[in-house]
Amino acid sequence: MAMHRYEIDAAAGPARETVIGGSRVLVRVRLFDGPGVVNAITGEPADNEDVYADLRPCEARKLAFELLCCAEQAERITEHAGGWQR
């Protein structure tokens, strides 16, 4: 079953990738439900497990750029529609 989370955060490490001559610290991205999030189907408090992804720094930069582009597009669409729509 596909699920989604309502919050995201990121940190350098703790995961590392072995490379020739040493290791490289990866960027850990965590998707999670923050406090007060309710399951839309059951109406109960969300109790989904956190989801983690460890990204190489270049992948993390690419994701960050794509997120910024999507945020800009979402704001433009919202403004074009006349504000927040329900």
| Domains in the chain: boundaries | 7-80
**pLDDT single digits (tens) 42-75:** 888 887 888 999 999 999 999 999 999 999 999 9
Would you place residue 86 in the very low, low, confident or very high pLDDT band (cuts 50, 70, 90)?
A: low
Residue 82: its pLDDT value, please? 79
Which backbone phi and psi does 58 adopt, to 5 degrees? -65, -40
Answer whether 10's CB lies under 8 Å from 30's CB. yes
pLDDT greater than 90 at residue 85 = no
* Encoded tokens for 82: 């006349």
The pLDDT tens digits for 18-34 are 989 999 999 999 999 88
Q: Which two tokens stand for residue 2?
A: 């596909």
